[in-house]
Amino acid sequence: MKIAFNQGLSRVHDAMEGLVLSYQDNYKQVYKDYSFTVSKNAAEALGFIQDHVDFAIPCRELFFSRDREAAVSFARSRFIPEDITVDAFADHLAELTDEQARLIMLINLNDAAKQSLDHEVLVRLSRGEGDVVAFIRQITLPPAVKWEAMEFFDDTRGAMQAFVGLVKRYLPVYKQVLDTYKNAIEGFETYVSQGVGADGKRFLNRVVRDAIELESENISVGILFFRSRSLTCVTIDDKLRVFIGTEYEDTVKQALGGEDISMLIFKNLADKTRFQILNLLKSGDLYGQEIAEKVGITLATVSYHMSFLLAANLVRLEKIGQKGYYTLQKQALKRCIAYLDTTFGLSEAKGDE
């Protein structure tokens, strides 16, 4: 097993997160929807990006809408080399073939619209071996986004050139963010890098609270500055990529509030969507897209809720094949029941019924 901190991949991923979150105040709604408190540094940085990036390109809703996040998909792509850097990312995008760009977009649309087409079907569509227009017509997405998707597949090269041009203009702005918040970003990078280097799997298990099955042969670890409260996992072929928010550990501590872990479990059970997810998982393991379809939420929404459930050790993430599956941690619920039993003397009260 190889576990390594990958700064280049980490910053490319984080840069695209920042671009999507800064588009039309996406970050404000995202944090509001999922009960996160926006960190002061992240809020300032995202406001700075808003002020310095012109998003006026074709298909901008398709690329940057918070429910699609296609720009981030290009940073998560299986076509990203492990040795990528921020400086090389725009050139990497420019070198993608039309077929590769269409496949990344098709995977994103398939996820965003809660469809379940097999990967091989999407590959054939990307090659022009199928009716892409029919696929776009039948997916459940806003009409404006469908129209932009039609534009993208009608002129993939033109749409990608505009997107690459925007990324090239944005990256110097991102570097200013890196410079402004250098201490916070590089300090956390050093902490994670040294921890992974010294203790590998043990360090990572401690940070993610044993919530992720770390059995992949190749694990890349990175950090998140813009989504500082989150823990994100991405499976790409035989690789697992784990991104840890700079404030993820603090968020877990705050959620615990110095109380027993059971209190954090209660808070999650009280959330209607998380309870629904846990109720689904009692019947068997599910991967993110399956949860999204069954609950009727987007894949991005699943990711946010899973950040809380992972922190509470109510679920565990395990990579099986090409997908990351979530498993219900029944032992955590049993400990919670035991906590109630001990606290309220339930076993002793049987004679009082």
Q: What is the CATH number of the domain that holds 337?
A: 1.10.10.10
Asked if residue 94 is part of any domain, the answer here is yes
Place of tokens 């509030």: 257
CA dist list (Å): 222 to 95, 127, 213, 243, 265: 24, 32, 17, 5, 27
Residue that finishes a domain, picked among 198, 214, 245: 245
Residue 312 domain boundaries: 257-343
Residues with pLDDT less than 50, the chain: 258-259
**The amino acid at 22:** S
Q: Does residue 348 sit within a domain? A: no
Report pLDDT for 99: 96
Strands 218-224 and 323-328: unpaired
Residue 313 shares a structural domain with residue 286:
yes
Q: Are residues 134 and 166 in the same domain?
A: yes
- Return phi, psi of residue 260, to 5°: -60, 150
Residue 231 sits in the same domain as residue 261: no
Tally of CB atoms within 10 A around 255: 17
Q: Do residues 80 and 192 both lie within one domain? A: yes
Residue 352 lies in a domain: no
The answer to whether residue 353 is domain-embedded is no
The predicted pLDDT at position 262 comes to 67
Share the mean pLDDT of the chain.
84
For residue 142, the surrounding DSSP H or E stretch is none
Residue 215 lies in a domain: yes
Give the per-residue pLDDT at 59: 93
Residues 106 and 79 in one domain: yes
Q: Are residues 236 and 267 both part of a single domain?
A: no
Domain limit, last residue, from 211, 245, 279 = 245
Q: Is residue 52 part of a domain?
A: yes
Instruction: Please check whether residue 323 lies inside any domain of the structure.
Output: yes
Looking at the fold, whether 158 and 184 belong to one and the same domain comes out as yes
pLDDT of 2 reads 86
Kindly report the pTM of this predicted structure: 0.76
Identity of residue 322: Q
| Helix extents (H) in the chain | 7-22, 26-33, 40-52, 60-64, 70-76, 86-95, 98-112, 119-126, 132-138, 143-154, 156-180, 182-199, 201-207, 248-256, 261-269, 272-281, 288-295, 299-311, 330-344
Q: How many domains does the chain have?
A: 2
- What tokens does 186 get? 């590089």
Q: How far is CA 309 from CA 63, 133, 209, 230, 236, in A?
A: 28, 38, 11, 11, 23
Write the DSSP symbol of residue 23: G
d(CA 178, CA 77): 23
